[in-house]
A = this chain, B = another copy of it.
């Protein structure tokens, strides 16, 4: 007899993952290697270690070890806000009248407001272990910057955050959260870096972009003794750390004998989705189970659904290594959107490769449809979702409604990556009927792709 499923499944602390899962190690055909932007050859550990701390550089290049132990200090920090609950969305199911069984892994129950803390604390830990003074990073919507500020504060490291200028101005509260944790926050582009000055000269009055902020953070780290750069998404190391999401999710389902039929997540750089699907995909790659995986991206920035699988720069300033990924071109400037966390031109190489192999699907959705789903979800499930997370809700609801038509009782699992407390201006636009949708034209997509490096 199957146990009754509670509203929320919390693992015991003793059941928390002891190791991260390295999805690439399970893949027969691996994602393509990062290329050194100077030599256009696969980047060496030595070179990568000038950007990231040594241990993180090693993790970045490691595609053979299936499991990597989580350091005890990181486990201890995880205990402050993990396990994250796996919630059975009984109220949403009832409101939809669907036979589907919907579960979501909620990663918003911490002050950073999202899953970003999972990797931030790991990156801060390794920086501390190496005896560094601090780290630099960029932040768009602000969740990653907040997470890294919290992590650095915990280990007594300095944290310099380049915050995309429009966010810096539109989200002063986010900035203050970072300051509460002792971070130094600079609006980007800034005059403190060469790349920032160049961009300001070329585009005076620019509101900044994530790609530009990344370039500034990398430049700053390389110019300071005892500093390295930290990134909140896209990288292999980040997917590795985020596997804690999927590992907990799978352990919670297994505990109650539940087998998922589909796993859904929003995808910007791909870190939360990559982490969520990791153990499920690994199981499938080993031939032990079969799942349907769905990446959800904004129609305004349709990396997987309309991009190209090619080597591209990760940042506007072209100072970072190149990655083979689904991309719209590092020169593609997505329309302003209320899901700032998903406005990135590329997709992490692991997910790109899985998508290319036909192991994962992708959907693009319009932001007005996303906010409608967000509000519907909030009213019955209580939690106010971040616009980014609501992309996954949209598709989960769509799939549940298909089940209603077909009568199938599928088990749907999605990732609810964070809360929308700092996104109320976007909700206000939606309430007031002032939100519009933007879908790039074919010509705009072509223009972005025409800037891809010739490799």
Chain A positions within 8 Å of B, measured between CB atoms, are: 6-8, 10, 12-13, 76, 79-81, 87, 91, 109-111, 113, 150, 153-154, 172-174, 176-177, 179-182, 375, 378-384, 419, 421-422, 424-425, 427-428, 431
Contact = CB atoms under 8 A, between A and B. Distances in A.
A111 B180 contact: no
A258 B172 CA distance: 42
Contacts of A6: 12-13, 79
Contacts of A12: 6
Given A172-B428, A173-B425, 14 more contacts: A6-B79, A8-B79, A80-B91, A81-B382, A109-B109, A110-B382, A110-B383, A153-B379, A154-B380, A176-B424, A176-B431, A177-B424, A179-B427, A421-B422
A436 to B, nearest CB: 18
Contacts of A419: 111
Contact of A111 (B7, B81, B384): B384
Question: Which secondary structure characterizes the binding site on chain A?
Answer: helix
Nearest to A375: B180
Nearest to A385: B111
Contacts of A380: 154
B427 A111 contact: no
Nearest to A173: B424
Contacts of A87: 80
A415 B79 CA distance: 20
A80 B154 contact: no
B154 A379 contact: yes
Nearest to A374: B180
Contact of A179 (B10, B76, B91, B431): B431
A10 B14 CA distance: 13
Contact of A173 (B378, B379, B421): B421
A14 to B, nearest CB: 8
Contacts of A81: 382
A247 to B, nearest CB: 18
6 tightest Cβ-Cβ pairs between the two chains A and B: A173-B424, A7-B79, A176-B424, A421-B421, A111-B384, A6-B13
A80 B172 contact: no
Contacts of A110: 382-383
Contacts of A91: 80, 154
A6 to B, nearest CB: 4
Q: Chain B CB within 10 Å — which of A154, A172, A173 has the most?
A: A173
Nearest to A171: B424
Given A173-B425, A421-B421, A428-B172, A378 B7 contact: no
A142 to B, nearest CB: 11
Nearest to A428: B176
Nearest to A6: B13
A37 to B, nearest CB: 36
B384 A180 contact: yes
A147 B382 CA distance: 10
A371 to B, nearest CB: 10
A182 B182 CA distance: 37
B383 A111 contact: yes
Q: Chain B CB within 10 Å — which of A12, A87, A154, A379 has the most?
A: A379
Contacts of A384: 111, 177, 180
